[in-house]
Amino acid sequence: MNTSYQEFTPSTALQPFVECYWLHHFEAIGQQESPVQRCLPFGALELILHLDDNPAYVLMNNQWQKLPQAFFVGLYRDTVHWKAVGTGRKFGIRLKPESILQLFAVPAASLFNNFTELDSFLGRDMNRLIDNLYGLTDMQAVIERTEQFLLKQFRNLKSERNYVFEATRLIRQAKGNLSIEALSTHLSISKRQLERSFKDSYGTSPKMYQRIIRFRNAYESFQQTATTPNWLDVSYNFGYADQAHFIRDFKEFSDDVPTLVFQDTNQYFRRPERRLA
């Protein structure tokens, strides 16, 4: 089976909300199965649609479960194992966490470390997007129709200050190297208030989100290198207490030690170097 993965940059108007669009394409003979893929937690939300009939399957409770044609993925802290069956394309819209509240006025707390059918979570309007994209072979047309749909969501935008949104952005800007105490002080709110509101919005604590973002940035830093990194340097650069702390955190989120992840990139869903305009 041949596989390809690409990321596409959103338009300027949508960049505050959308990290990227992506396409994962599998070419198979008949109902050939792909190698098991591993999707790492990166602190983003995903709207994922199958553009063709052939499905993908996710490993849940040690059993393979067929994924819906279109589904919404909340913030994850665990690695997700999945596989494709037959030739098919999966299209994803990767949202910044605060965007789900800004564009759709829906909190994602109930779907922390979980997913559900897209229309059941965001409403029947999503069926229009699903129908408009299904079967399209031109990726530019897929993105254009997606952006038309998302731009209509601007009517839901609220302009008032929201400290949860600000906290989420600040954690990303600091690449996860920011204490929650310093964050709450900067926002002039109590740590308890921040934790409660963050969990109400996303289903997890700001501390967990901070750890996921730090893991993501550490991972992305060595995806750009050709030789095995110095893990002590990575630990230091991303604010871990020491190398043992970095390896322990990395293994918690990836199910593997950094060296094995570095040597086995073919099983990982997101490859940051493949982004296209």
> What pLDDT was estimated at residue 262?
86
Distance CA 226, CA 220 (A): 13
- What local confidence, expressed as pLDDT, does residue 238 receive? 93
Q: What is the pLDDT of residue 268?
A: 54
Q: Which residues pair with 50 in a beta bridge?
A: 90
* 3-state secondary structure (DSSP) of residue 170: helix
Determine the Cα–Cα distance for residues 46 and 186; give it in Å rounded to an integer.
29
**Can you list the alpha helix ranges (DSSP code H) found in 113-162?**
118-122, 125-133, 139-151
Joined tokens for residue 34: 């792909």
Residues 163, 190: Cα–Cα separation, whole Å: 11
Cα–Cα distance for residue pair 156/194, rounded to 1 Å: 23
- DSSP class of residue 32 equals P
Phi-psi domain of 195 (left: phi exceeds 0; alpha: psi -120 through 50; beta: other): alpha
What CATH number was assigned to the domain covering residues 2-156? Answer: 2.60.120.10
Tens-digit pLDDT profile for residues 64-88: 999 999 999 999 999 999 999 999 9
CB atoms within 10 A of CB 192: 9
- Which pair of structure tokens corresponds to residue 125? 């309007």
CATH superfamily, domain 163-273, is Homeodomain-like (1.10.10.60)
Question: What is the distance between the alpha carbons of residues 262 and 227, in angstroms, rounded to a whole number?
Answer: 9
pLDDT score of 222:
84
Mean pLDDT in order along the chain per 10 residues (277 residues): 90 95 92 89 96 92 94 96 93 96 90 95 91 94 96 77 93 94 95 96 97 95 85 94 95 91 65 40
The domain segmentation of the chain, as residue ranges, is: 2-156, 163-273
